[in-house]
Amino acid sequence: MKSIYPDKHERELIKSFGALKNEKEIEHFLRDLMTLAEIKEFAKRFQIAKQLWTSDKPYMKIAQEVGTSTTTVTRVADWLYKQGLDGYKAVLQRLYPQKTY
């Protein structure tokens, strides 16, 4: 059976982010929701996406700077430019609007 995204529970989680009013509330919610290791991993993925978006650095250089593997950089790039639903792009365009695709 094919998995549907987002399902009912995932939609509830998505809506919960929309209910938060500021960065402090988001910070607290993320910390309650995830372990520090999970937060750090997601932060690394975002840093990879940011570097891919704002620079022309090679994957190896990004991996070294972020402290991850080139496989992870490749996966993030794939979601940013090919397979994703443009979630990364929406955020990156708002935070770093000088680069457009």
pLDDT digits (tens, 9 = 90+) for 16-33: 999 999 999 999 999 999
**Are 90 and 72 found together in one domain?**
yes
23 vs 29: CA distance, rounded Å: 10
- Give residue 72's pLDDT: 98
**Are 89 and 48 found together in one domain?**
yes
CA dihedral 32, 37, 85, 80 (to 10 degrees): 150
- In the block, tokens 């993925």 appear at 45
Q: What angle do CA 83, 84, 89 make, to 5 degrees?
A: 135
**Mean pLDDT across the chain, nearest whole number?**
94
**Are 82 and 97 found together in one domain?**
yes
**In this structure, what token pair is assigned to residue 4?**
């549907």
Domain extent at residue 43: 35-101
- Give residue 13's pLDDT: 97
Please count the structural domains in the chain.
Answer: 2
**Are 54 and 89 found together in one domain?**
yes
DSSP state of 46: H
- Give residue 1's pLDDT: 63
pLDDT in tens, 41-61: 999 999 999 999 999 999 999
25: Cβ contacts below 8 Å, ≥ 6 apart:
none
Whichever domain contains 85, its CATH number is 1.10.1270.10
